[in-house]
């Protein structure tokens, strides 16, 4: 089997094929990782934000659209997809740890190095093993239909790390809407924080922190963990997260107001 990295667009099924879309994202990721490696630590957060906004919707769409198909059509699909789900889970856990650290923390560099390593391993596993196997089992028209479904899901998927949410349906599907709203509001706020936020800097950071707490509270709801394989499960913290969720609703409204005012 040939890696999808070595195939032409026509061999992959055309521009709309899920394989072409996947490879395009992998090329973009490689460019971002190269950029990250040459960026000073105190400037890395903006590059990391771009990586998160690419990686997490990409992985969410894989887990929701592609992996169920692979488990159905490949005899060892369960084993193959579980390996990648474990990589995705490690990425979520590494990013969650990374976001809790100061830019100059001594713990930051080894976590960042491991994150880059796992992301590159994930790309190799998909391009060299999973996707060539999928090619042998589905038609070009199916690859194109999967590409359209994958793209739709990717555009509405969460954009941040959520290690407690199930890597499989139905938990990840239920989590999509509330987490996507919170994450994308946080993305817009963080773009201002890491850019030129001026006098808004302190208030925007507080708003981002509120959105973060709310999204992590949402992922602790029991329904968000349904379908998880035991090997990728994270035990949630005890206690009802309703206070943080309510805070998130308020913070989202404030974020929309602030962002609208910034545009005017």
Confidence band, pLDDT 50/70/90 cuts, at residue 150: very high
Bigger pLDDT: 150 vs 104: 150
How many Å apart are CA 68 and CA 153, to the nearest integer?
Answer: 14
Specify the pLDDT at position 90: 97
Predicted confidence (pLDDT) per residue in 41-67, tens digit? 888 999 999 999 999 999 999 999 999
Confidence band, pLDDT 50/70/90 cuts, at residue 246: low
The 8 Å CB, 24+ separation contacts for 21-28 are: 21/147, 21/150, 21/151, 22/58, 22/62, 22/126, 22/127, 22/131, 22/150, 23/127, 25/54, 25/58, 26/123, 26/126, 26/127, 28/54
pLDDT at 240 over 60: no
Length of the chain measured in residues:
264
Specify the pLDDT at position 255: 57
Residue 96 near residue 163 (C-beta atoms within 8 A): yes
Angle at 187 between CA 171 and CA 243, to 5 degrees: 55
The 8 Å CB, 24+ separation contacts for 105-110 are: 108/41
How many Å apart are CA 246 and CA 233, to the nearest integer?
Answer: 26
Bigger pLDDT: 194 vs 248: 194
Residues 154-160, mean pLDDT to the nearest whole number: 95
Average pLDDT, the chain: 88
Specify the pLDDT at position 146: 98
Specify the pLDDT at position 238: 54
Helices (H), the chain: 9-12, 18-37, 44-61, 67-73, 77-99, 108-125, 131-135, 140-155, 171-193, 201-219, 242-263
Predicted confidence (pLDDT) per residue in 124-145, tens digit? 999 999 999 999 999 999 999 9
Confidence band, pLDDT 50/70/90 cuts, at residue 75: very high
Residues 16-21, mean pLDDT to the nearest whole number: 98
Specify the pLDDT at position 244: 55
């Amino acid at each position: 089997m040939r890696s999808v990295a070595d195939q032409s667009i026509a061999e992959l099924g055309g521009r709309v094929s899920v394989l072409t879309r996947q490879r395009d994202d992998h090329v973009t990721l490689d460019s971002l990782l190269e950029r990250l490696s040459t960026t000073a630590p105190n400037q890395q957060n903006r590059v990391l934000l771009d990586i998160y906004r690419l990686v997490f919707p990409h992985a969410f769409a894989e887990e929701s659209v592609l992996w169920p198909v692979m488990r159905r059509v490949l005899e060892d699909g369960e084993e193959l997809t579980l390996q990648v789900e474990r990589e995705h889970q490690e990425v979520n856990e590494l990013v969650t740890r990374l976001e809790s650290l100061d830019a100059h923390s001594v713990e930051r560099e080894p976590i960042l190095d491991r994150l880059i390593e796992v992301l590159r391993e994930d790309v190799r596993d998909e391009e060299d093993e999973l996707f060539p196997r999928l090619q042998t089992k589905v038609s070009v028209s199916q690859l194109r239909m999967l590409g359209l479904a994958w793209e739709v899901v990717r555009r509405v998927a969460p954009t941040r790390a959520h290690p407690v949410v199930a890597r499989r349906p139905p938990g990840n599907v239920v989590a999509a809407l509330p987490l996507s709203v919170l994450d994308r509001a946080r993305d817009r706020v963080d773009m201002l924080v890491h850019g030129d936020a001026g006098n808004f800097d302190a208030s925007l950071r507080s708003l981002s922190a509120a959105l973060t707490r709310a999204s992590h509270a949402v992922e602790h709801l029991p329904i968000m963990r349904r379908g998880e394989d035991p090997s990728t499960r994270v035990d949630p913290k005890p206690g009802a997260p309703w206070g943080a969720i309510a805070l998130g609703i308020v913070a989202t409204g404030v974020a929309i107001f602030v962002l609208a005012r910034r545009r005017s």
